[in-house]
A and B are shown apart, each in its own frame.
Chain A
Amino acid sequence: MGHSLWQSVLGEIEVSVSHATYMTWFKNTELLETTDESVTIAVPNIFAQRQFEVKFNDQIKEILEKNGVKPTTISYVVKTNKNKPVTSRETTRTETKAADRLVAPLPKKQTATNGLNPRYTFANFIVGSSNDLAYSACQAVAKNPGTKYNPLFLYGGVGLGKTHLIQAVGNEITAKSPETAVLYISSETFVNDFLESIRFKKKGFADKYRNIDVLIVDDMQFIAGKEKTQEEFFHTFNALHQANKQIIISSDKPPRNIPTLTERLRSRFEWGMSIDIQMPDFETRCAILEAKAAASSAEIDRSTVEYLANNVKTNIRELEGALNQLLAYSEMRGIPADISTAEGLIGNVRRSRPQHLSSRQIIDKTARHFQLTTAEICSSKRDKHIVTPRQIAMYLLRSELHLSFPKIAAELGRKDHTTAIHSVEKIEKAIKLDFMIREQVAELREKLYA
């Protein structure tokens, strides 16, 4: 009852005083006690206490009377938490934090400040046809920072090794010449630092980013849509580039596909070298699995490796996850990490995905991806904007489901299986040459297994 009474008092006061006054004085007040003679109200501090006693007392008394409460005295007390028993979990946490102990201040470690993880090196990066260009470019940059490819822009889907490669460049440079100032950050750190420098008028933001020799920025796409930050990054970029300092950037999309990236930044990102990293092929996946197994000194036979590589196709992180799961499982159960165990487990790894992809799904999803209807893609229309998607659908049916060519032709309403052969070959070739096609196929694949 006390609560609702006070709420009605507050409601009436809120409309009679200015908003600032209300927020300053009436926020955090509560009714503690009502008896026939007296009312006790808790206020947050002494200033509020005095203000209530002198200025608001008459008004509150009047409203209380209107609500049928006629106290002879109204007293105002300052709320305190002092000596209250600790009840909620939250206070326990803060109490132990403000704790009854002194802690040693941590000395700043020089190595920790460049943000690099020493685990990522060139030596433990597995090179395959999908990433050899990126690998060689990174090595060239590590050898002669600031001269060859500047900026170096790497892009590709999640879990394909972008972070590994760009950190390897940083680690290689620091190992060779420790006096080079390398800084690895995620674009989010840049944004946060920038915001903080504005908010708290902190100095040293420009110093931190402009007095370095190699700047590595991971996940650049997160800068999209942040205009002021982009402007600041633009100036940082120019300052470094002018001074022939190396800049390395990674992102999940090529610069021109990052939405709301300002034109001047986009053109600068495209200035040096941009390379995409693709999903590794089967052989590379096998090599990665074998290297990882060796790193955790586990023995795993060839057929099991092939089985895993064949069944996990989305990204390397998941591939490693599947391997780790297999190894952990075999260790805990004391059974060999062989193909039969893997078969039992792989279901777990991929449970989130449809067990069997149907040809219908591939056609539907391809059509939707290109904003076409399924009927259109299966029709006999030969408009350019339908032909290419149709060919991609055929390619996917072949590469993902290993359907026969006559079957593929039938699925898309063609009579002649040579059309299917031609389409698949055409897309296979296009993937190597045309970046747009490669991008579309990769995106579609991701959607299929999402």
Chain B
Amino acid sequence: MEVTVTQENLSFALNNTSRIASSKAGLPILSNILLRTDSSRLLIAATNLEVASSHRIGAKVIKPGSITIPAKLLSDFIQNLPKEQITLKVANNKLHISAKNSSSTINGIADDEFPELPVIDDKKAISYNLSSDDFKHSVSQTVIAASSDSTRPILTGVYWHSFEKNLYLAATDGYRLTERRIVATKSDVEAVIPTSTLQEVLRTLRDDINEIEVLFDETQVTFRLAEVEITSRLIDGNFPDYRQLIPSSTESSFTVSRSELMRIIKIAGLFARESGGGITLNLDVDASRLTVHSIASEVGENSSEIEVKAKGQSGSVSLNSRYLTDALNAVTSDEVSFGFSGKLAPCVLEESIKDPNYKHIIMPLKS
């Protein structure tokens, strides 16, 4: 194999793929990156047998061929080369890299042992074209609620599914739940995508990519971002029927500026570290006032007030301040509405607009 590529392209591809190459897996070759010529491109790929990431970059192919190289070393090395042209040459399972004023040789392994990269059948798969902004928002709004508890694998992913002619994303860890509506759909989709895969896609997403193609079949999902392809297995199992957990209405609710609410929740959070983040919201409907209170026996206490547009009954509820700040960070609108029903029922945070497409449910703290 002999190819010439630019440092920038190669470095970007290696940076993304080396994250996936893992030294923990049973097969030693999985800590290597595959380099293979593909007509007039160079394919750069890595996999950990959960997810595979492959990049195709423009290359001047002098002689076709392939090799696999230890991921970390190659990526760190290429990262530190000047932004010039790089020539890669393979001979005797060694990769010779020559760049301006520098040349080196790295021992590699032939690619026979490297796992075959899964391919999705475009004709059989259900596909969606999403704008990258939409994708970025929806995914980051939902993944925050996904669980990290590996004893319940099904909750460690985000549930992509069709419901009433729309595609929805949902995630929950049992304490909070997020749901986001993305696009209209005619097909039936039901897939739980691992959180790590979605985060990988988010990291790989560059500003110059405007559209993402998402393809599903029964057992896998592929994200296409221009010349990058990320394919992942799906999490096996049935996602809980979460819709019944979303309260259809709440007894008390208020609407307020998002940044104002965020500010006083953050202040209250400072006094809530000791009590596991517990802060108390007190809504006085008659006075249109929300009071946020928190106490730390060793530090002191805090109580802040803001004016709100209140509806329903007065009442109070205790929440984990971190969950609430996470939720407020996820919402994008200037105004938010927050509803609750007593001290024990789930609380709902939504954008205060007509037909909001994002819901964030938080369970109160038992106090």
B118, A98: Cβ atoms under 8 Å?
Answer: no
> B361 → chain A, closest Cβ, in Å?
7
Alpha-carbon distance A263/B308, docked complex (angstroms): 67
B27, A20: Cβ atoms under 8 Å?
Answer: yes
Q: Assess A98 versus B175: contact at CB under 8 Å? Given A23-B26, A81-B237.
A: no
A103, B219: Cβ atoms under 8 Å?
Answer: no
A20, B28: Cβ atoms under 8 Å?
Answer: yes
Which stretch, B91-99, B163-171, B271-279, touches the partner chain A?
B271-279
> B146 → chain A, closest Cβ, in Å?
13
Chain B residues in 8 Å Cβ range of A50: 115-119
Chain A residues in 8 Å Cβ range of B241: 100
Q: Assess A104 versus B366: contact at CB under 8 Å? Given A46-B233, A78-B218, A110-B297.
A: yes
Contact of B26 among A24, A82, A104 (CB under 8 A): A24
A55, B172: Cβ atoms under 8 Å?
Answer: no
Q: Assess A24 versus B361: contact at CB under 8 Å? Given A94-B152, A97-B152.
A: no
Main SS of chain B's interface residues? Answer: loop
Does B341 sit at the interface, judged by CB under 8 A?
Answer: no
B365, A107: Cβ atoms under 8 Å?
Answer: yes
Q: Assess A99 versus B240: contact at CB under 8 Å? Given A47-B47, A49-B118.
A: yes
Chain A residues in 8 Å Cβ range of B310: none
Alpha-carbon distance A81/B154, docked complex (angstroms): 11
Chain B residues in 8 Å Cβ range of A100: 240-242, 244-245
Alpha-carbon distance A212/B273, docked complex (angstroms): 19
A80, B115: Cβ atoms under 8 Å?
Answer: no
Alpha-carbon distance A51/B116, docked complex (angstroms): 5
Chain A residues in 8 Å Cβ range of B49: 24, 45, 47-48
B233, A47: Cβ atoms under 8 Å?
Answer: yes
B233, A102: Cβ atoms under 8 Å?
Answer: no
Chain B residues in 8 Å Cβ range of A318: none
Does B14 sit at the interface, judged by CB under 8 A?
Answer: no
Which residues of A17-52 have CB atoms within 8 Å of chain B's CB atoms?
A: 20-21, 23-24, 45-51
Size of interface on B: residues with Cβ below 8 Å to A: 52
Alpha-carbon distance A46/B234, docked complex (angstroms): 9
Chain B residues in 8 Å Cβ range of A107: 275-276, 278, 318, 365-367
Does B344 sit at the interface, judged by CB under 8 A?
Answer: yes
Alpha-carbon distance A53/B231, docked complex (angstroms): 17
Q: Which of B116, B175, B236 is the most central at the interface, judged by chain A CB atoms within 10 Å of its CB?
A: B116
A102, B238: Cβ atoms under 8 Å?
Answer: no
Chain A residues in 8 Å Cβ range of B155: 98
Chain B residues in 8 Å Cβ range of A55: 116
Q: Per-position contact with B for A76-90: 1 when CB-CB < 8 Å, else 0?
A: 001111110000000
Does B177 sit at the interface, judged by CB under 8 A?
Answer: yes
Alpha-carbon distance A321/B361, docked complex (angstroms): 49
A106, B240: Cβ atoms under 8 Å?
Answer: no
Chain A residues in 8 Å Cβ range of B318: 107
B344, A104: Cβ atoms under 8 Å?
Answer: yes
Q: Which residue of B lies closest to A27 (CB)?
A: B26
Alpha-carbon distance A83/B154, docked complex (angstroms): 13
> B163 → chain A, closest Cβ, in Å?
16
Does A402 sit at the interface, judged by CB under 8 A?
Answer: no
Alpha-carbon distance A17/B116, docked complex (angstroms): 17
A108, B115: Cβ atoms under 8 Å?
Answer: no
Q: Assess A102 versus B245: contact at CB under 8 Å? Given A51-B116, A78-B218, A110-B274.
A: yes
Q: 14 A-B residue contacts at CB 8 Å?
A: A47-B49, A49-B219, A53-B116, A80-B219, A80-B236, A82-B236, A100-B244, A101-B245, A102-B176, A105-B320, A105-B323, A106-B365, A107-B365, A110-B274
Residues of B participating in the A interface, judged by any CB pair closer than 8 Å: 25-28, 47, 49-50, 52, 113, 115-119, 152, 154-155, 172, 174-177, 218-220, 231, 233, 236-238, 240-242, 244-245, 274-276, 278, 297-298, 318, 320, 323, 344, 346, 361, 363-367
Q: Which 9 A-B pairs have the closest CB atoms?
A: A108-B276, A78-B219, A54-B116, A46-B220, A50-B116, A50-B118, A46-B118, A100-B240, A45-B233
Known pairs A102-B245, A102-B361, A106-B365; list 19 more (Cβ under 8 Å): A20-B28, A21-B113, A24-B26, A24-B27, A47-B118, A48-B49, A50-B116, A50-B119, A53-B116, A79-B236, A82-B238, A102-B346, A103-B175, A103-B363, A104-B365, A105-B365, A107-B365, A107-B366, A179-B298
Residues of A participating in the B interface, judged by any CB pair closer than 8 Å: 20-21, 23-24, 45-51, 53-55, 78-83, 94-95, 97-108, 110, 179
